[in-house]
Amino acid sequence: MSPDELRPATVTRLLLALSLVAAPHVVHLPLWLSIVAVVLGLWRWLVARTARPLPGTLLRVVLTSVVLLAVYSRYGTLFGREAGVSLLIAMLALKLLELKTPRDVYVAVFLGYFLIVTNFLYSQSAFLAAYMFLVVMALTALLIDLNRHQPATVGEDLRVAGRLVVLAVPLMIALFMLFPRVAGPLWGLPKDAHGGLSGLSDEMTPGRISQLGQSNAIVFRASFDGPFPQPQQRYWRGPVLWQTDGERWQAGTATEHRSPLTGLNYETLSEPLQYSIILEPHNRLWLYALDLPASVPPQARLTADFQLHATRPVRERWLYSVASHPDYRTPPLSDEERKRALQLPPEGSPRARAMASRWRLESPNDVAIVQRALQRFRNEPFVYTLQPPLTENDFVDEFIFTTRRGFCGHYAASFVFLMRAAGVPARVVTGYQGGEVNPVGNYLIVRQRDAHAWAEVWLPGQGWTRIDPTAAVAPERVEMSIDTSALGEQVRFHMPNQAWLRQSWQTLSYGWDTFNNAWNQWVLAYGPDRQASLLSWLQGSALPWQVLATLLLAAVFALLLTLILLWLHRERRDSDAATRLYSRYCRKLAHRGLGRAPHEGPTAYAKRVALARPDLALASAQISRLYSALRYAPYPAPVWLARLRYAVRHFRP
Amino acid sequence: MSAPKLPNPPAATYNDSAVLTPQDLKLACEQVIAAAGQIVLGKDVELRLALACLLARGHLLIEDLPGVGKTTLAHVLAKTLGLEFRRLQFTSDLLPADILGASVYDRANASFTFHPGPIFTQVVLADEVNRATPKTQSALLEAMEENQVTVEGETYTLPTPFFVIATQNPSHQVGTFALPESQLDRFLMRLHLGYPDAKAERALLTGSDRREALRELPPAISLTTLLSAQSKVPQVHVSDALVDYLQTLLLHSRQSPYFRHGLSPRAGLGLLRAAQAWALIAGRGHVVPEDVQEILPAVAGHRLQAAAEHGDLPTAALMEQLTTVPIP
């Protein structure tokens, strides 16, 4: 092939490989861009098929400006993740229109390699990584095709590319483990890279929500050193809400931070539970822990209302270990805390306030008031639903006396309101409740649909006590998780199902989640800390990254040198493999009494065999010719070895 | 391996030697051997070895009794290759100047002019080389080694190709100076012709006069092809595995109790070149162990001597010690 010629088959392969690279982007790019890219690709394909000329310069300039403008008007910028990736794909598609020489294909292939990296800006799942391996193979096969004198089949190119990719795996692992990890990203991720992360917020307005989103997205996974706590104890504490205007609940004034933890400020009544959590990024500060956390992970602090806060928003998966005491007694309230725990809007909800004052008068103590409130939730026709009616003016009164339909937020908010109205210090705690046990990986999975809100009241002698009014209405909510397939009126709870099909499906999905968890823990969570601990384990002490980089460079050079030496000796290696095969052939003949004398050359031996056994003459001649060529000829073709292997295997004297 | 096919090579830049494939060279060699075989009957292997020796740019020693066709073989080879041929009969009173030439005072120019001796030719037949004195022998051997002649401080280059075929009678004959081992080493190969077989001898006895035919023998190969073949010999591929085999052979010759001395590095190089030439004649681009085994007796025979306790072993038996070395 002359250096300026481009085979039509190469163009087709390039188009296929590039569409593989860009395919995952289709879901998050504007539709028109995908269509433009496909049309440009088809155009180039037709040009290659029909040997028509490529579009002229003017048309290309016009097309480029139009696409550039379109991307700019869509995003208002050409930078950032979305706009950048869109621009890259658009330009790559346009580049196809001036694809004339192999050099242009090189450019397109290298852009393709770059595009592979951009896929990881969106997802770092094991599946995508595996897929990208295949894509790297496809692109590499194209480079191999470009460098061949004689075109080979796609399969042959892919095989060579596959071998290259497999050979690169040890280097990849070494680089992954040893490449200096700088704390924080080396270059800033695009600003919009953390968009679309869902999770709890630091305020709650139950009356304004008519449909609670039920997402299966995983919030965190927790593995325990001992047995799992009972479902009734699985309250994962998140933001604590103090401040209310009757309808909306907020965290209120900044809570005092205690960091580092200097001894516990509450009395423990049981042994602590030890567990570790792998938290998915949610771009917020809080870390979840069971009531009540007794230790603080590094780069986190404990607030006075027992929330764990990270020092910066959680934007990467985070593994932390915590201990919690399920039974506890908190100290007396400070005046300031008592004031905040009794805060109510100056007016509104007269019926609820009236009922609360009546309870106050009729009850001997705070515990009795709590009992009466729970009794009311239990006895009146309250319904737990994910699609509550909207409240119009007065959330508390309407919910308690009229609609009586709601989810955890409704119950927690109205309960705390009643308590405060009755003079019992109370607050709303949001977080997650429950979690699904993954028996394969032996950990708990907590999903967005496990989001929950409950109440805490301060009782004399006991301190802060958790009260879950939802449990009074729908105890199943606390014991089992919500089945998200139930979108109807009545909420179905997750019931254990005996059907074997469902069971095996469950096992399969648990297995998949376990794999993902391992991937997260061992691949994605491998940051500077883990690297430092690995290195100090390997070497006795942690190294600064400059030393590490030098070592790495030296290692890469050593590796390259080894590879070059191996390459130089490939003739000898093939020759040795040929010798093994040839001895096998000789052994086969020796069993028939036609052994090779040690000094006999292959050709001489084949001649003797042909004389003794004319039926073997042809096969022997072929084998000896192949062996002789592999062992003594220059540049033995790899296919000779394969042919020899085949011939020897099928040689039956 | 076939040479890469070059479509329409510009005629001006490629001479015919550049596009000669191993197959072309094989064909040319076959023609030479076939042509020579018409005169020298039943000696195809020896002819082939002699040709290999020439292609490897070595020199040939033919050792046998008088009258078995040594001279004829040399003459035929020169004729079929289209080379200039001169015969030098060595006698005990032959002086170096008789071979190399001498500077003679030219009265007309009042200066010495060099008169080249009979050695200035392409093929020299040094007949009965062991009859000359060692001094004369070494004059010839130095010319063979250097491909040039130095007379009275002036150096004269010998023609190319330069190929010496020396014959000698077995040294137990009367009135000979056996070539010392160091001199024998200068010859790449030594051949024994031996008596012809019955069929060949009958054809010889009953056929027409060979001398007549010899005189009219046309060249079977062009000089450019011959030179190209010579230059292709060192390019014949020698794989690592074959070098292993050669080294095993050399080592064996040095360690075996049958030999007084082992093969020298020069002998090793000789084996390699001869095997390369042998492969080239067979039309192959690479050397295989069989090539080495076939040229081994001719290349190693005159360089090895039996150890004292095996002194009565014939050369063929000695060579078997080497050709039966296992191929690694």
> Which pLDDT score, from 0 to 100, does residue B219 have?
86
As given in the structure block, the two tokens for residue A488 are 């109807």
Of A571, A599, A629, the CB nearest to B327: A599
Lowest mean pLDDT among A135-149, A261-275, A499-513: A261-275
Of A599, A600, A631, the CB nearest to B241: A631
> Which pLDDT score, from 0 to 100, does residue A4 have?
54
> Which pLDDT score, from 0 to 100, does residue A297 have?
83
Contacts of B325 in chain A (CB under 8 A): 599
Higher pLDDT, B179 or A164: A164
Contacts of A601 in chain B (CB under 8 A): 288-290, 293, 327
Per-residue confidence band for A136, with pLDDT thresholds at 50, 70 and 90: very high
Packing angle between helix A31-50 and helix A8-22, nearest 10 degrees? 170
Contact A243, A251 (CB under 8 A): yes
Contact B286, B236 (CB under 8 A): yes
Q: How many CB atoms lie within 10 A of CB B197?
A: 11
Contact B322, B253 (CB under 8 A): yes
What is the C-alpha to C-alpha distance for residues A593 and A615, in angstroms, rounded to an integer? 15
Q: Is the dihedral of CA A439, A445, A451, A457 positive or negative?
A: positive
Parse chain B into domains and list their residue ranges.
18-234, 236-328
Element (H, E) at B116: strand B111-116
Contact between A603 and B287 using a beta-carbon 8 Å cutoff: no
Higher pLDDT, A482 or A310: A310
Backbone angles phi, psi at A332, to 5 degrees: -60, 155
Catalytic residue of the set A291, A305, A468, A574:
A468
Q: How far is CA B37 from the centre of its chain?
A: 17
Q: CATH number of the domain at B18-234, out of 3.90.850.10, 2.10.70.10, 3.40.50.300, 3.10.20.30?
A: 3.40.50.300
Per-residue DSSP letter, A50: H
Identify which of B42, B74, B297, B47 has the alpha carbon closest to the alpha carbon of residue B166. B74
Residue A408 pLDDT greater than 90, yes or no: no
Residue A261 pLDDT greater than 60, yes or no: no
Q: Minimal Cα–Cα distance from A576 to chain B, Å?
A: 9
What is the C-alpha to C-alpha distance for residues B146 and B158, in angstroms, rounded to an integer? 9
Catalytic site includes residue A468: yes
**B37 reaches A (C-beta below 8 A):** no
> Which pLDDT score, from 0 to 100, does residue A188 have?
46
Contacts of B326 in chain A (CB under 8 A): 598-599
Residue A349 pLDDT greater than 80, yes or no: yes
Catalytic site includes residue A408: yes
> Which pLDDT score, from 0 to 100, does residue A1 have?
40
> Which pLDDT score, from 0 to 100, does residue A462 have?
83
Q: pLDDT averaged over chain A?
A: 81
What is the fold, at CATH topology level, of the domain defined by B236-328? Helicase, Ruva Protein; domain 3 (1.10.8)
Buried b (16+ CB within 10 A) or exposed e, A464-487: bbebbbbbbbbebbbebbbebeee
Contact A142, A109 (CB under 8 A): yes
For chain B, the distance separating the N- and C-terminal CA atoms, rounded to the nearest angstrom, is 24
- The residue type of B82 is G
User: What does pLDDT average to in each consecutive run of 10 residues of chain B (328 residues)?
Assistant: 38 45 84 86 88 92 83 87 88 87 83 86 88 86 85 84 86 71 85 84 79 80 87 89 90 86 89 94 90 90 80 74 81
Residue A158, CB-side half-sphere exposure with 13 Å CA sphere: 9
What Cα–Cα distance (Å) separates residue A454 from each residue in A410, A447, A524? Answer: 10, 17, 34
What is the C-alpha to C-alpha distance for residues A233 and A479, in angstroms, rounded to an integer? 10
**A573 reaches B (C-beta below 8 A):** no
> Which pLDDT score, from 0 to 100, does residue A488 have?
42
> Which pLDDT score, from 0 to 100, does residue A250 have?
83
Q: What is the mean pLDDT of residues A447-469?
A: 87
Question: Which pLDDT tens digit goes with each residue over B303-318?
Answer: 888 777 776 777 777 7
Per-residue confidence band for A572, with pLDDT thresholds at 50, 70 and 90: low
Catalytic site includes residue A366: no
Higher pLDDT, A298 or B8: A298
> Which pLDDT score, from 0 to 100, does residue A138 have?
92
> Which pLDDT score, from 0 to 100, does residue A255 have?
53
What is the C-alpha to C-alpha distance for residues B290 and A604, in angstroms, rounded to an integer? 7
Contact between A597 and B289 using a beta-carbon 8 Å cutoff: no
- Put simply, the chain A residues between 580 and 599 with a CB less than 8 A from any chain B CB are 597-599
**B287 reaches A (C-beta below 8 A):** yes
> Which pLDDT score, from 0 to 100, does residue A317 have?
78
Q: What is the mean pLDDT of residues A121-144?
A: 89
A462's CB contacts (< 8 A; 6+ apart) are A329
Element (H, E) at A110: helix A102-119
Picking from A631, A635, A639 by the largest number of B CB atoms within 10 A of its own CB, the best residue to mutate is: A631
Question: Which pLDDT tens digit goes with each residue over A36-87?
Answer: 999 999 998 888 888 788 888 898 999 999 988 998 888 888 777 888 889 9
A88's CB contacts (< 8 A; 6+ apart) are A111, A114, A115, A118
Pure H helices in A51-101: 57-75, 81-95
From the CA atom positions of chain A, what is the Rg in Å?
35
User: Residues A53, A57, A62, A65: what is their CA dihedral angle, to the nearest 10 degrees?
Assistant: 120
